[in-house]
Chain A
């Protein structure tokens, strides 16, 4: 088989696989709808405010409820030391202030 045929075969197979993954994404989105709604209803019923992503500190567990002085909670010049702090941003309302 010619090299160009092999290349186009690979390209077609890759494109087909990528299309299949997009179809998978679309089906999964539909299939997960029920779980998403149930999670949303859990949030509504229990009046939850945050996702359980990082349980290492209270201000990373409840990002939206964190104290305004979180960054200096241990002492006035303490710096953020939890790894998850490097993935997250300060709440929008703090950044918007002049």
Chain B
């Protein structure tokens, strides 16, 4: 065994010296290979983590959301329909939601205005969440709501951290709104939502129903949509179809559909992901093609000399196996480590410009690193194994030829 290990070490020593003789080519190859692994691993880490986080965060989203559709577009929902839905068998509770968008021309950003549920217990739970702040400013026990005991009342609002950052405003400042009739309404900021919740609340503005209706001029007979909770969770789809039957213009969206929407987001089979994957796969195919299509004259001559001085075919194949393994293992380890740092320590710096798109308000969120051995194994088999195998095949062909003819061929 010891003899075998020592032999392999000598072969590796020789292989590294051989690789270093063609520094530029091999370092270039290593850098490109590392880049491919980095892109693939970054994409895999980012998409898996965001999907997983979405499934955990949205697990308590409304069981059914009922919208009204007019001419293919979302329309205001008449409050009078609430009773119709309440009487559908299986429905436990129906609540209305008031929410919409407001475009802030000053910073060219869209905000989501939302009226918190009117239930007394909910309102109390927002308002009475205490602030726990330390001198260092970082406190793990800090709650999501930074209300400082303030109660959301007419004339006030609570803003998401993204808005506070974008407009450089905070508690006590005023936020102007142009109402539907052109009047300017100044609402006082009662608090900000914490930065930890930015993934769901960056652009949120919580305002009272009264202010909401004043800004948008929406009559009390209408709401934006309804949320429906169901007695038996296994009957959600049945209840949704019953609602659709009773109110043909209604469009029920069930929680499972919401979760599946986020499960298919960033799906590798579509959109930009397929472009990234195609580029990476194409680059990889070029590598493999370069290796599989044959050896350079220099490499052939090297094999010829090695065989002439007594190396066996199996030794040459072992040498080339180590060459492939060294390049691919180095690229794999470096690429994966860099991808982890990129996604979970730098906030996906490389992807950020593409993800931001045309929006001025982009959430600053730290993804929870959901990384497991399964992902690493998949990545390993996608990158290391094909490359190593691709280097062996042409070598086997070259290693079996006569050393004399290999050395005679000098054109490079």
Q: Complex: how many Å from CA A50 to CA B360?
A: 19
B261–A63 touching, CB < 8 Å: yes
Is B369 among interface residues, defined by CB-CB distance under 8 A?
A: yes
B261–A91 touching, CB < 8 Å: yes
Q: Which residues of B contact A (CB under 8 A)?
A: 9-10, 12-13, 16-17, 50, 53-54, 56-62, 65, 67, 69, 72-74, 95, 97, 101, 109-110, 112, 114, 116-117, 122, 125-126, 140, 143-144, 160, 162, 193, 196-204, 206, 227, 251, 253, 257-258, 260-267, 270-273, 326, 329-330, 333-334, 336-337, 340, 344, 354-355, 357-363, 366, 368-371, 373, 376
A65–B65 touching, CB < 8 Å: yes
Which residue of chain A is the closest to B267 with respect to CB atoms?
Answer: A89
> Would you give the shortest CB distance from B358 to chain A, in whole angstroms?
5
Q: Complex: how many Å from CA A87 to CA B9?
A: 47
Q: Complex: how many Å from CA A21 to CA B41?
A: 14
> Given A45-B125, A49-B65, A65–B253 Cβ distance below 8 Å?
yes
Our pick among B50, B97, B333 for the contact of A15 (Cβ within 8 Å) is B333
29 A-B pairs with C-beta separation under 8 A: A3-B12, A3-B13, A4-B12, A4-B13, A7-B326, A17-B333, A18-B333, A25-B344, A25-B369, A29-B369, A31-B140, A40-B56, A40-B57, A40-B59, A43-B57, A45-B117, A45-B122, A48-B61, A48-B114, A51-B54, A55-B203, A55-B360, A61-B101, A65-B253, A67-B69, A87-B354, A89-B261, A89-B265, A92-B260
CB-defined contacts of B112 to chain A, threshold 8 Å:
52, 55, 61-62
Our pick among B198, B200, B357 for the contact of A43 (Cβ within 8 Å) is B200
CB-defined contacts of B198 to chain A, threshold 8 Å:
52
> Would you give the shortest CB distance from B96 to chain A, in whole angstroms?
10
CB-defined contacts of B57 to chain A, threshold 8 Å:
36, 39-40, 43, 51
- Give A37-95 interface residues, CB cut-off 8 Å to B: 38-58, 60-65, 67-69, 82-89, 91-93, 95
CB-defined contacts of B333 to chain A, threshold 8 Å:
11, 14-15, 17-18
CB-defined contacts of B97 to chain A, threshold 8 Å:
47
CB-defined contacts of A56 to chain B, threshold 8 Å:
110, 357-359
Known A40-B59, A43-B58, A49-B253; 16 more pairs at CB < 8 Å: A4-B13, A22-B371, A22-B373, A25-B344, A25-B370, A28-B369, A45-B117, A45-B122, A49-B58, A52-B363, A55-B359, A56-B357, A65-B67, A84-B357, A87-B273, A88-B266
> Would you give the shortest CB distance from B241 to chain A, in whole angstroms?
13
B144–A21 touching, CB < 8 Å: no
Q: Complex: how many Å from CA A61 to CA B109?
A: 12
Q: Complex: how many Å from CA A84 to CA B92?
A: 37
> Given A4-B16, A38-B196, A51-B58, A91–B117 Cβ distance below 8 Å?
no
> Would you give the shortest CB distance from A13 to chain B, in whole angstroms?
9
B200–A42 touching, CB < 8 Å: yes
Q: Complex: how many Å from CA A47 to CA B61?
A: 6
CB-defined contacts of B261 to chain A, threshold 8 Å:
63-64, 89, 91-92
B16–A49 touching, CB < 8 Å: no
B371–A25 touching, CB < 8 Å: yes
CB-defined contacts of B59 to chain A, threshold 8 Å:
40
CB-defined contacts of B199 to chain A, threshold 8 Å:
39, 51-53
